Amino acid sequence: MTNSQRLAVVRNHLSRWIAGVSGRSLQENGDSGIVSESMLIRDGFFCGRCFQANGFRAVWFMEEDELKIYADDGKLQRVFSGTEITASAENQVVKPETGRERILTIPQQQPEEEQQQTHRRAA
């Protein structure tokens, strides 16, 4: 996964957390609830992202793959590890605009030996 792909997963996770805490849907939160985003630079090197949301500030540390969420008063509210963020993203169900839930599945390929036997029977 590239850094930009990982950032998208982290951003999505944060947006869903904000929506859950506020009791509002992502659409009611302006699709993300994130008001601003900036790069985090330490000793001249990129090391993560800072997010500002209504009532919260979050910092994603890229190397540690950790998301820390703070209230506006500076108190730590929640820490998500990289494995928690990944697990949450993997369990997410795709919902089309119709409101019906849809789970995307990828058909498994048959082992090569079974494919050859199937091909022989067909011939």
Domain locations in the chain as residue ranges: 3-93
**Distance separating alpha carbons of residues 61 and 97, to the nearest angstrom:** 33
Q: How confident is the model at residue 37 (pLDDT cuts 50, 70, 90)?
A: very high
Answer yes or no: are the C-beta atoms of 45 and 36 closer than 8 Å. no
Q: How confident is the model at residue 40 (pLDDT cuts 50, 70, 90)?
A: very high
Residue pLDDT, tens place only, 60-77:
999 999 999 999 999 999
Cβ neighbours around 79 below 10 Å, total? 10
Indicate whether this model's pTM tops 0.85: no
Q: What mean pLDDT is predicted for residues 38-64?
A: 93
